[in-house]
Amino acid sequence: MNEKPFKHIWNPIDLSGEHRIRFQFGPLDVRIKRVGDELTIGWRYDRLGETRLSLDTEPARWTDDVDWKRWVGGAEFDRLIFKPIMPDRPIVVRPEMPVSLLPKETAMFFVGVPSFISVCVGKHEKQLCDIPTSILSNTWFGETTVDGALCYGLKTTAKREHNQLLNHPFRVICPIRIKNASSEILDIESLCLPVKHLSVYLGETRLWGNQETVEFRGNKKWGRITSSPGSPPFDGVSGLLSSPRDVSHADIVFNVFRKLIPFHNG
């Protein structure tokens, strides 16, 4: 992956006058047209584009084989910026293989979460829309089909080392610290993690989310998830790219070790 576009792709873009933009980020292919006081945005997906990363402000070839949405706004469209943000639902992920954590022990995992792209305009960066970078599957996580939460299920697995994750630019790497604070052995087969309260940061080679600590207190007790403030200490992380979708919770009481119930789309 070319380092320059990875870092510069998040800078504001001058859209004054008539412009066409093509933004390709992993499987997501976004087209934007500015004509007068109107902005039109369309997108599609390419499942073979996992490592793709490009921003073309003068696309030589242009096709209209996408569904378009249109906004009227005038001068606000002079400034365009793309922001990676976390998904709008909890995500369910599994370790590479089932793991058992002994009482009073702690383990670190790393999860690559497909980002959404927020398309923002103007000096105050007003959001027009947010678009998933890949098509995510629906999963129900809970003890029954009534008691639980609708989540996104990830096809990737949680790794013990972040450099074991595939270097896909559209994924946000989330460090997860699991602490077994109980007197029981904790069997980890899947995790349900609320991610709406996480920021997204720019590293040297990856996007990163805040480090989360998941504390297990026993099978009959609810655990606690704590999000560490600031950027995680990996990959030379420096700049904040986007704030959380939901800033109302720093500590969350959440049953992250429930059962996974398959949910079929449609």
Residue 206: name the closest of 230, 228, 237 by CA.
237
pLDDT (tens place) for every residue of the chain, 266 residues total:
334 577 889 999 999 888 899 999 999 999 999 999 999 999 999 877 788 898 988 886 767 678 889 999 989 999 999 999 999 998 988 887 888 999 999 999 999 999 999 999 999 999 999 999 999 988 887 766 666 778 898 877 788 888 888 889 999 999 999 999 989 898 888 888 889 889 999 998 899 999 988 888 877 556 678 888 888 889 888 889 999 998 765 444 455 555 443 443 43
C-beta separation of 201 from 232 below 8 A: yes
Helix (H, G, I), strand (E, B) or coil at 64: coil
Q: How far apart are CA 205 and CA 236, in angstroms?
A: 9
Helix (H, G, I), strand (E, B) or coil at 4: helix
C-beta separation of 117 from 150 below 8 A: no
Q: How far apart are CA 114 and CA 94, in angstroms?
A: 15
pTM: 0.87
Helix (H, G, I), strand (E, B) or coil at 163: helix
Q: Which two tokens stand for residue 254?
A: 């959440």
Q: Is 217 exposed, middle or buried (0-12, 13-18, 19+ CB in 10 A)?
A: middle
Report the pLDDT value the prediction gives residue 146, as an integer from 0 to 100. Answer: 66
Helix (H, G, I), strand (E, B) or coil at 74: helix
Q: Rounded to an integer, what is the distance from CA 203 to the centroid of its chain?
A: 14
